[in-house]
Amino acid sequence: MATGLTAVQSRDPTSTHQSLAIVSYNMHSFHQGIPALEELLEHNSTPDIILVQEHWLTPADLCKFDDLFPDYFSFGSSAMTNQVQSVILFCRPYGGVVLLWRIKR
């Protein structure tokens, strides 16, 4: 599994409550980090919540999370909003957070 993924799971065998699996991941760019998230979802149990940092997407590209993860509802923010609104985009992309939570079907 790729480095940078942090998983937290609540599993109390004496509890009657359901467990909650949470993963936090610093992508260091959407295109660089997506393979690790896809591997996590393909080979491991499906986390209930995924916290993503540093996706580097513009506001118009946040829908990529919806396209790639249809079993999750996404809510995110881009740190590039002000730069995209300027006349010329001259800096490298940076920042951004997304919260993905699994849709129960």
Whole-angstrom CA distances from 89 to 27, 47, 55, 77, 78 are 22, 36, 17, 18, 15
Q: What is the pLDDT of residue 10?
A: 56
What does the radius of gyration of the chain's CA atoms come to, in whole angstroms? 15
Of residues 34 and 87, more confidence is placed in 34
| Full set of structural domains in the chain with CATH | 5-102 (3.60.10.10)
Output the pLDDT for position 81. 84
pLDDT tens digits for 91-105?
Answer: 777 899 999 999 976
As to burial, measured by CB atoms within 10 angstroms (0-12 exposed, 13-18 middle, 19+ buried), residue 26 is middle
Query: How much is the pLDDT for 43?
Result: 81
Q: Which residue has the higher pLDDT, 41 or 87?
A: 41
Decide: 49 and 102 in contact? Cβ < 8 Å. yes
At residue 102, the 3 state secondary structure works out as strand
Residue whose entry in the numeric block shows the structure tokens 């979802």: 41
Angle at 27 between CA 24 and CA 32, to 5 degrees: 145
pLDDT tens figures, 27-66: 999 999 999 999 988 886 789 999 999 999 999 999 999 9
The distance in angstroms from the start CA to the end CA of the chain is 27
CA–CA distances in Å: residue 19 to residues 2, 40, 49, 76: 24, 18, 12, 24
pTM of the model: 0.78
